[in-house]
Amino acid sequence: MRKDIATPVRTKEILDKYGFSFKKSLGQNFLIDTNILNRIVDHAELTASSGAIEIGPGIGALTEQLAKRAEKVIAFEIDQRLLPILEDTLSPYPNVKIIHHDVLKADVRAVIEQELDLDKDIMVVANLPYYVTTPILMKLLEEKLPIRGIVCMMQKEVGDRISAKPGTKEYGSLSIAVQYYTKAETVMIVPKTVFMPQPNVDSAVVRLTLHEEPPVKVKDEAFFFFVTRSSFAQRRKTILNNLTSQLPDGKQKKDKIQAALQQSGVEESRRGETLSIGEFAQLSNALYPFFQE
């Protein structure tokens, strides 16, 4: 019986066997604690008929645990050097398919339709590279994929921002974007000591459960997100100042922005971090007609 991949000894054996060296540019940090991997998979609540999508499988530590519980695992790996290693380490698991592709450039929906049963439960479970966490998450959410949710590990600071509430220093446009699509919760903190090589900071595991319907009604999603980003352009500035400087022809339309703020019941002197997602929805809906020329 093979030992699990995610132990310090087995990980080192695999790396030595293939002469593998970590690429800092790819944000490669491999987990070497099976208990933590199992807890991550627990939070995904997979069944024997679930499909799992992984991003950046590394040498297959998390992939292995997913393969033991899901019906099929699809993993996107960008680093060609890892393909022969994965073929070796995951050889006991015929229910795993590795796709050599940058997930940011991949047609993930087409892969899901081709490889997984759309009538069944599908989850994304991943230890995301720190440097591309936000672009990957936003791609998965904006493409409205047929998934139940995402359980992923990321830098703790990013996890704090994703699950932040209004009025906190972590709360920002990323919090609103993710919470528009999902219920976001931090379910685990993972110490930096359980990675090889050790990163500089601790990690968080965040569970994102997709809403059946967004929690707010907006006239135009793209404009809603543009308004939220604009409202946080300079955190110390008031919402009126940020919107005036960021919206197209904002200075010329300052009276329109003031009217929309008043209509939404939002005081001009407030800062973006104090507005709830509901207030941002009302505000973007009030602004929308003024910025359609």
Annotated binding site for S-adenosyl-L-methionine: 29, 31, 56, 77, 102, 127
86-to-160, 185, 228 alpha-carbon distances in Å = 32, 31, 41
Instruction: Give the pairing type, strands 51-55 and 122-127.
Output: parallel
Please tell me the distance from the alpha carbon of residue 277 to that of residue 262, in angstroms, as a whole number.
17
Closest CA to 143 of 92, 194, 105: 105
How would you classify the pairing of strands 182-190 and 96-100?
unpaired
What is the phi/psi pair of residue 124, to 5°? -95, 130
C-alpha–C-alpha distance, residues 274 and 264, integer Å:
14
Phi, psi of 178, rounded to the nearest 5 degrees: -70, -40
* CA distance linking residue 210 with residue 151, whole number of Å: 11
3-class DSSP assignment, residue 99: strand
Dihedral angle computed from the Cα positions of residues 29, 35, 40 and 46, in that order, rounded to the nearest 10 degrees: 130
Nearest to 224 by CA among 282, 268, 160: 282
Task: State the Cα–Cα distance between residues 120 and 103, nearest whole angstrom.
Answer: 22
For residue 83, the 8-state DSSP code is H
Distances (CA, A) of 156 to 13, 104, 113, 128, 197: 29, 22, 32, 12, 17
Which parts are annotated binding residues? 29, 31, 56, 77, 102, 127
